[in-house]
Amino acid sequence: MKYPKIPLAQTVVQLCKAKNIKHIVISPGSRNAPLTIGFTHDEFFTCYSIVDERAAAFFALGIAQQLQEPTAIVCTSGSAVLNYYPAVAEAFYSNIPLVVLSADRPKHLVGIGDGQTINQKNVFENHILYSANLKLDLKDEHNIPEHEDIPIIKNLENKFERFLGLQKDIQQYNEEEINVALNSAITKKGPVHINIPFDEPLYDIVDTLSVTPKVIEPVLKPAKVEDYVVQSCLEDWNNATKKMILVGVNYPDETDEQWLEEISKDDSIVVFTETTSNLHHKSFFSRIDQIIAPLNDEELKKLQPDILVTFGGLIVSKKIKQFLRKYKPKQHWHIDAKMANDTFFSLNNHIKLQPNVFFNIFLPKVKHYVKSDYLPLLTAVKKHRLKKHKDYLAEIPFSDFTVFQKVLKSIPKHSILQVSNSSAIRYTQLFNINKSIKVFCNRGTSGIDGSTSTAIGCAVANSQPTVFITGDLSFFYDSNALWNNYIPNNFRIIVVNNAGGGIFRILPGHKNTENFNTYFETNHNLNAEHLCKMYGFTYSSASDDNSLVEALNNFYSEENQPKLLEIFTPKQLNDEVLLNYFKYIS
């Protein structure tokens, strides 16, 4: 086997291997050559070459999201590492283990005007679990005086002995830092940054390893909750007649069905689930805005919970946030082993357990169901809303609203659905999705910048077919995602093209003015056909109900390349249809 000559590169690669980090996404460069040599010459690793660092980072994030294990990204020095930042922030807020391996110039070449050089140490300081700033290897005893971490040695007789001791200290320091960083990604589920200085020559290869780094195994502390905490929760729970459970981003199959069934039997419990929660039960409320938006103040006051229990990641629905901030619960418990956000300004109990673990401890101890009309009343509202929803669909013309209804209904069972942010995820929340479909969306930072890249990474990490629904701005913004040689043939993209940021038309503001059209809505006449031709996608389009039905008929059929369907909708009509919807269903 071939190895990079530089001991530091050998150390990084060996420790990644020891931690079972298999997927390595490399953006070509020169300063990171020692790492590229190390990873690509070892068959243990699956390596990908993606030029655009921003796309590469989100691609890796999609892999890590699906595998729920660390995925590494490797880049050269300079601005390359900064292009990782959007994905690093998403990983930080979505608890996704992403390992950033950035090559760097030696310390003495930073800040002197050398090319492709910036201050890379701690560059992700506010959005990272751990930053490891490694030390430069000593090349030989002759370069000791120039080395950045070592005082000048005047006694030449002791120089060689001193060299061996200093290199040993540097090696030990680097091993410890790499172990801590990688273990943090594994145990704490989030991004870490390892900044790695290399001096030239960068491309030298050897046949044997010169270092055998120490592997420090990650320590997983068993989570536990004190009995008095459980008992206190039980007392409050058994006395509350209005209990609300709200579930945000949640991995599929994380909550046992028996606990969902148990919760559903209690009339004092209302469960709101977002599309991204991947939780399904006939008694739950999966279309939050459909329920909440039309309610008047008196009805909202009746819905105000005594106890709010939340788990999962961030919440999409702005309506439920506004409601719970105005009509605050008396108590808010958040169940999460890692962190708790005070989203509704009423958090008073952070239960540091995985939700399923907590339910396993808590629900068997609930001795009785409280008599309440909380669930029955809202169930009656739900029944009314669903009928009005169906009636409204029968009346309205072709628009974003009707497109999402047809598209979501068309997705094959047992697919993975990736949804971009902005209007795409909000429309998706207004419709039921088959419970066999797993849903994902980058809700950590809710940005549009890497949705396509994430979806492609997801598709690469799975044997299941992946469908990606996106808006036009999100798609074109991340079009470099298609510059990717690993896209599977069963990957499907659906672009809803309303000619520019249609979500802004439903927000307060002066529409249909030159200022609005230019600076808010981002008017354009772009389409995806030429991109598909360039990147090897089968392209089809639709612009009305009939052409959409026809296009969907064979869109999911097998083919020897991925497919993209672009659906053109009337931008002047979409906002009117959506805003009238909430009036109609009230």
For residue 324, the tally of other CB atoms under 10 A from its CB is 25
Contacts 24+ apart (CB under 8 A), 335-344: 335/309, 335/310, 335/311, 336/311, 337/223, 338/95, 338/188, 338/189, 341/314, 343/310, 343/315, 344/308
- What does the alpha-carbon distance between residue 275 and residue 383 come to, in Å, rounded to a whole number? 19
DSSP assignment of 201-247 equals ----EESS-S--PPP-----PPP---HHHHHHHHHHHHH-S-EEEEE
Instruction: Say which residues have a Cβ less than 8 Å from residue 488's Cβ, sequence separation at least 6.
Output: 459, 460, 466, 562
Q: What is the mean pLDDT of the chain?
A: 93
Angstrom distances, CA of residue 115 to CA of 105, 109, 135, 297: 10, 9, 20, 61
User: Residue 35: is its pLDDT beyond 60?
Assistant: yes
Angstrom distances, CA of residue 266 to CA of 234, 237, 273: 14, 11, 17
pLDDT over 90 percentage in the chain: 85
User: Residue 351: is its pLDDT beyond 80?
Assistant: yes
Confidence of residue 139 (pLDDT cuts 50, 70, 90): confident
- What does the alpha-carbon distance between residue 565 and residue 494 come to, in Å, rounded to a whole number? 5
Which residue in 233, 444, 270 sits closest to 348, CA to CA?
Answer: 233
Both structure tokens of 390: 């169906």
Which residue in 364, 511, 342, 452 sits closest to 59, CA to CA?
Answer: 452
pLDDT over 70 percentage in the chain: 92
**Residues 68-120 pLDDT 10s:** 999 999 999 999 999 999 999 999 999 999 999 999 999 888 888 887 889 99
Is 39 in a helix, a strand, or coil?
Answer: helix
pLDDT for residue 517: 66
**Residues 184-196 pLDDT 10s:** 999 999 999 999 9
What does residue 386 show for φ and ψ, rounded to 5 degrees? Answer: -65, -35
- What does the alpha-carbon distance between residue 532 and residue 565 come to, in Å, rounded to a whole number? 10
Confidence of residue 367 (pLDDT cuts 50, 70, 90): confident
Which residue in 68, 67, 56 sits closest to 24, CA to CA?
Answer: 56
Determine contact, residues 564/489, Cβ cutoff 8 Å.
no
Least reliable range by pLDDT among 138-152, 255-269, 471-485: 138-152
Both structure tokens of 125: 């300081």
Confidence of residue 152 (pLDDT cuts 50, 70, 90): low
**Residues 372-399 pLDDT 10s:** 999 999 999 999 999 999 999 999 999 9
Q: What is the mean pLDDT of residues 484-488?
A: 98
Which residue in 426, 470, 432 sits closest to 293, CA to CA?
Answer: 426
- What does the alpha-carbon distance between residue 198 and residue 253 come to, in Å, rounded to a whole number? 44
- What does the alpha-carbon distance between residue 160 and residue 142 come to, in Å, rounded to a whole number? 9
Contacts 24+ apart (CB under 8 A), 122-127: 122/193, 123/81, 123/82, 123/85, 123/193, 123/195, 124/84, 124/85, 124/88, 124/100, 124/191, 124/193, 127/85, 127/88, 127/89, 127/92, 127/93, 127/191
Angle (CA) 298 299 303, round 5°: 120
- What does the alpha-carbon distance between residue 242 and residue 176 come to, in Å, rounded to a whole number? 51
Determine contact, residues 528/566, Cβ cutoff 8 Å.
yes
- What does the alpha-carbon distance between residue 554 and residue 562 come to, in Å, rounded to a whole number? 13
Domain spanning 3-201: CATH 3.40.50.970: yes
Least reliable range by pLDDT among 36-40, 148-152, 199-203, 506-510: 148-152
- What does the alpha-carbon distance between residue 496 and residue 567 come to, in Å, rounded to a whole number? 5
Pairing outcome for strands 205-206 and 3-4: antiparallel
Annotated domain spans of the chain: 3-201, 227-379, 396-578
**Residues 196-243 pLDDT 10s:** 999 999 999 999 999 999 999 999 888 888 888 899 999 999 999 999
Q: Name the burial class of residue 347, with classes exposed (0-12), middle (13-18) and buried (19+) by CB atoms within 10 angstroms of its CB.
A: middle
What does residue 405 show for φ and ψ, rounded to 5 degrees? Answer: -60, -45
Q: What CATH architecture applies to the domain 227-379?
A: 3-Layer(aba) Sandwich (3.40)
Q: What is the mean pLDDT of residues 120-135?
A: 97
User: Residue 143: is its pLDDT beyond 60?
Assistant: no
Region 396-578: CATH code: 3.40.50.970
For residue 423, the tally of other CB atoms under 10 A from its CB is 26
Q: Name the burial class of residue 380, with classes exposed (0-12), middle (13-18) and buried (19+) by CB atoms within 10 angstroms of its CB.
A: exposed
CA dihedral over 155, 159, 162, 167, signed as positive or negative: positive
Q: Do domains 227-379 and 396-578 have the same CATH topology?
A: yes
Confidence of residue 146 (pLDDT cuts 50, 70, 90): very low
User: Residue 401: is its pLDDT beyond 70?
Assistant: yes
- Edge-first strand listing for the sheet containing 307-311: 269-273, 243-247, 307-311, 331-335, 347-351
Q: Write the DSSP symbol of residue 506.
A: G
Confidence of residue 511 (pLDDT cuts 50, 70, 90): low
Is 75 in a helix, a strand, or coil?
Answer: strand
CA dihedral over 33, 184, 132, 143, signed as positive or negative: negative
Angle (CA) 520 548 578, round 5°: 40
- What does the alpha-carbon distance between residue 51 and residue 54 come to, in Å, rounded to a whole number? 9
User: Residue 150: is its pLDDT beyond 60?
Assistant: no
pLDDT for residue 142: 46
